[in-house]
Structures are given as structure tokens and as C-alpha cells.
Amino acid sequence: MADLQSKLEAALTEAVAAALGDEHRDADPLVRPSNDPKFGDFQANLAMGLGKKLGAKPRDLAEQIVAELGDAGGLLDRPAEVAGPGFINMALSAPALNDAAAQLQPPTQTSAAATPEHVVIDYAGPNLAKEMHIGHLRSTIIGDALARVLTHLGHTVTRQNHIGDWGTQFGMLLQHLIETGWNPQGDHRIADLNTLYQEAKQRDDNEPAFAEAARKRVVALQSGEPEARAIWLALIDESVRHMNEVFTRLGVLLTDDDLKPESFYNDKLQETCALLEQAGVAKVSDGALCVFGESEDAAPLIIRKSDGGYGYATTDLAAVRYRVQEVGADRVVYVVDHRQREHFHKFFAAAQKAGWIGEGVRLDYVPFGTILGKDRKPFKTREGTNVRLGDVLDEAVQRAERVIAEKNPDLPADERNDVARAVGIGAVKYADLSNDRVKDYVFDWDRMLSLEGNTAPYLLYSYARIQSIFRKGGVTPDEAAGFAIDVSESGERQLVLKLAQFDAAVASVGESLEPHRLCTYLFELATLYHRFYESCPVLKAEDEPTKHSRLALCGLVAATLKRGLDLLGIRVVERM
């Protein structure tokens, strides 16, 4: 359809030139798919702009353009119609649609980007030595979906898991562990570390002498003191093991190869500061090295504290320089919650001023909102603590299992378990991805597990239903891919048009970095599929060619749903 759309655009450009003169060729035809099939398949919105430019009534101009357009070389079924203030509504002819249908392919391959870029994408990045909680969910799954989409679009993607393994939190934890005689060789579990972390935090807040010792412990760690280092390594080890376990359950792409911890940049921090100071981007103020913004009143970015310590911002500056200069990124994408907006704006500006970000290189901060409970406050346990991610995933699978048992009691137990994992984890991910990224959303089990509406279960069920048609019909989707599509019913025509929009939907996610656009597309596709299925019998079609044509459409819908869900990091099931 990208094709259909560009053909229509070209025809409109010719019509504009013929009706209004060659000098108006550059007017953007503004062709979009129609919102309502009653008004045809596409709408062009160019008459308003031309009206303004020519001081004429848009409707009159639209009439003149339509008269020249005719049937657009056979693309249109009937003359285009002018509506409202000057919209041009166009309905495609059957041959044009069949042509488009014949070009549809199951979207399995990676498409080649017009201008392939090297994209570094920074996501997940939990702070270590704590159990992963609900607050780590969004960056992990949004980032993962974006990594998949950008790869699909033909870009080279380098994933970076910027884990927090070096902050001041380690000072207090180490101090507490050393004081309580903790043995780094022991068998430590993340849950125990969690408790120890709480204890250390408690002491840090209440015992000034402990807090002081904790500060010194950070310095000791940084200068390589063996005792501190051994404990630190043991902490990192267990935290990374736990993190990987969660990643596996979530089905995200991140592996140890993607780890670029904060500590990786340690030996680059001094140089980073020196360069910023030399470039006049940073200056010493009250003993600290600071980057000031436009106004000297706003809080500066402190990149070296008065005691000589470096912080989160220093690491990010070293990291962005590394990513652009060493990794060779054309685009760096940071999937980090909205509360860090200021931090990103400030260090992006500093890196730009320092001249580290070459021309044409993009830095994208991709913020997201908070997950809320039903009370519309940040989602917490009843006790008011952070919800453990592991617990969320357990509950998702258990709940999905109940939904499936009710829907299909005959599914064998082990298959049911597997389906429950796909549906439960898929539901959690999809509920997150389908919401407008920058907004907060309410975590609602019943809604995300519903078999109706814009949910993973609905899409997975649609996919499984299509597979069951193939099983019943004794035809494989591969065989069906070879059948000719002949579009006649409205249900079929809408499906073909929607299928043809897949590439555009994925491309728009690549540009906007908003995965919900793909969710909306898949939901609309599934909805149109169900409408088609109700009005157009497949296995009981009136004749063999019609049956084949409809099976080919079913196969394309299934392949598109599967690929789309795959780009969101969600696995389909053959039955449910």
C-alpha cells in the first residue's frame, strides 16, 4: 500500500499541475487512509493549503483537481468525491486492490532501511544489589520492543544495559556487610541482599558515624581495596544472576554481552571532566566542577563533587562520548522514566556544547510514565513496599492459567502451562506497551487478561483461531500463501488495506519510538479480521477460488499478527 498510496499521490500531483498550473507540483498531496470506509479508502487533504496560497475556496479547487484526476489511471473505482471544506475521498478499484493484495508478503524478514543507522539503545539498567521490582518493568520491555523494531527496520542495534553497579549505595552496603562479618564466598540469594540493603539504608539514615564510614568505603572500593572489592564482586554476581533470571522469564533480548555497567566508565571519568573544563563547558564553583545551563540560577550539573567524587551525570557524559565516538552510534536512545528528564536534557546539552555529538547524530530521550495501582497512586504492595517483578510474573501466569482453563478446558495440562506463560507474560508486556508511553497507566489484571479489547489475550486468541481454521481445512499457511487473492466483499477489502499498512506502522514506531502505535495497528487488524470472519465464510465459501483467496488472507493476517507481536517481544501460541 505504501505503493498504492504513492501511486495516488503521484496521480494527484499530475491533476494539480493540470488544474492549477505546473508551479503547484510541489504541494504535498497529504493522502491518508480513510477513517471510515463509507467515504472510500483514502482521503487527500491538499485543497486547504492550496486555497490559502491561492486565495481561493478549497472546495472549488478540490472540484477542479477531481475533474482532472478522473479514475487516476484505473486506480479508482469511481470518480473521487469532494467532501466538507475540501477533502478528496477516493475509493480504489478492484484491480488496483487485487494488485496490492498480490504484492502482500508475510512480513518475516528484516526490511532494509533507506538510510541504515547504528542505533545504541540504553534500557533496563537496574541499580544492583536490590531485587528487581515493578519500577524496572517499563524500561526493560519498552526498550526491548524498540530494539526489535529498529532491527526489523534494517538498522544496526547495539543494546546497552547501563546497570548501576557503582553508586553510593554500595558504600553503605559494603560497610554494613563488613561490620556484620558477611562472607562473600557464602551462598547468597538476592532476597537476603534485599534485607541487608534495607538494614544498611536504615543505619545510613540514622547513624552519622556509619554514614561517614560508608562514604569512606566507596573511596576504598574505588581505589581497589581487596576486601571491599571481593564483597562488591560477590554482590554484582548474585545481582546479575537474578537480573538474568527475570530477563529470561520476560523473554527480553538482553544478555551479558549487552552489559555496560557504570563501573565500565570509571577510568574515563577524569578525562571526561578535563575535556569539559578545557572546552569551557564546565567550571569550578565552590570546589565542585559544574556545568551551568543557560541561566546561572538553575541548578548546575555537578560532574565532580568538592571531595573529588564523580556521580551519575559524569558517567553518563563519559558513556555518551564512548557511544558516539567508539561505538559509532548515529542515534543513541535512552529509555528511562520521566523523572530523569532534567538530567538527560542537561547532559545532552553539555555533550553537544563539548562538540562530542557529530552532525546528524541524534540523542533521543525516551521517557515513560509511572505504573499506578487501582487507587491511581504508584503501584505498591498492600504494605506499601515495591512490588517484586518476580511476584508479578508468577501471578500473571497463574491468572492466565485460570482464564485458559475456562476458555478451553480440553487443553492438555502441559500445553496449558506453556500457553499460560505466553499469555500471562504477554498480557503484562502488552498492557504496558499499548499505553501511550509518556502517560501513567493503571495496572489492572482483569483488563490486561481480558479476551476482548486491545489486549494480548485477544490478539493471541485471534492468531490461534486462524491456526485452527488451517488445521480444520487441512491446508498449511505455506500452501495458502500461494493462493491468489481476489477481493470483492467489503470485509476482504478492508483487510487487504490494513495488511498493506504494516510496514508504515512499524516505521512510525521507529521514528516516534512509541510502541503503542504498533499495538493499535495490530488491534485494528484483529478487529477487521473478526469482522471479515463473520461476514465472509472461509472453509464454507461458495466456491474453491473464493475459499483459497480467503485462506490466503487468513494466512497473511496470522503472519502479520505473529511478526507484530514478535516485534513487541510477545510469543504466539498455536492453540488456546
Binding site for ligand ARG (CB under 6 A): 122, 125, 127, 162, 164, 316, 319, 334, 336
CA distance 221 to 172: 11
Question: Which residue, 344 or 441, has its beta carbon nearer to ligand ARG?
Answer: 344
Q: What ranges make up the beta strands (E) of 441-539?
A: 441-442
- Phi, then psi, of 74 in degrees rounded to 5: 90, -5
Provide, rounded to whole angstroms, the least separation between the CB of residue 204 and ligand ARG. 18
Task: Report the nearest approach of ligand ARG to the CB of residue 546 (Å).
Answer: 54
How many angstroms from the chain centroid is the CA of residue 532?
29
- Residue 368 · residue 139 · CB < 8 Å: yes
Cβ proximity to ligand ARG, 131 vs 316, nearer residue: 316
Nearest-CB residue for ligand ARG: 125
Contact 554, 464 (CB under 8 A): no
**Nearer to ligand ARG by C-beta: 166 or 529?**
166
DSSP run (H or E) holding 279: none
Cβ proximity to ligand ARG: between 127 and 386 the closer is: 127
Using the minimum distance from each CB to ligand ARG, give the nearer residue, 125 or 477: 125
Least distance from C-beta 555 to ligand ARG, angstroms? 41
- Total count of residues recorded for the chain: 576
Q: How far is the CB of 160 from ligand ARG (least distance, A)?
A: 8
Q: In terms of C-beta density within 10 A (0-12 exposed, 13-18 middle, 19 or more buried), how is residue 143 classed? A: buried
How far is residue 563 from each of residues 243, 496, 567, measured CA to CA in Å?
27, 17, 6
Least distance CB 340 / ligand ARG (angstroms): 6
Cell numbers placing 341: 528528564
Return the number of the residue (162 or 516) whose C-beta is nearest ligand ARG: 162
Which amino acid does the sequence have at 256? D
Q: Which is nearer to ligand ARG, 42 or 365 (CB)?
A: 365
335 vs 464, beta carbon nearer ligand ARG: 335
Q: How far is the CB of 299 from ligand ARG (least distance, A)?
A: 18
Round to whole Å and give the CA distance between 16 and 4: 18
**β-pairing, 301-304 with 441-442?**
unpaired
CB of 335 vs ligand ARG, minimal distance in Å: 8
Distance in Å, CB of 345 to ligand ARG, minimum:
13
Helices (H), 366-435: 389-407, 413-433
Cα(470)–Cα(173) distance, integer angstroms: 58
For the CA atoms of 96, 100, 101, 102, the dihedral, rounded to the nearest 10 degrees, stands at 100
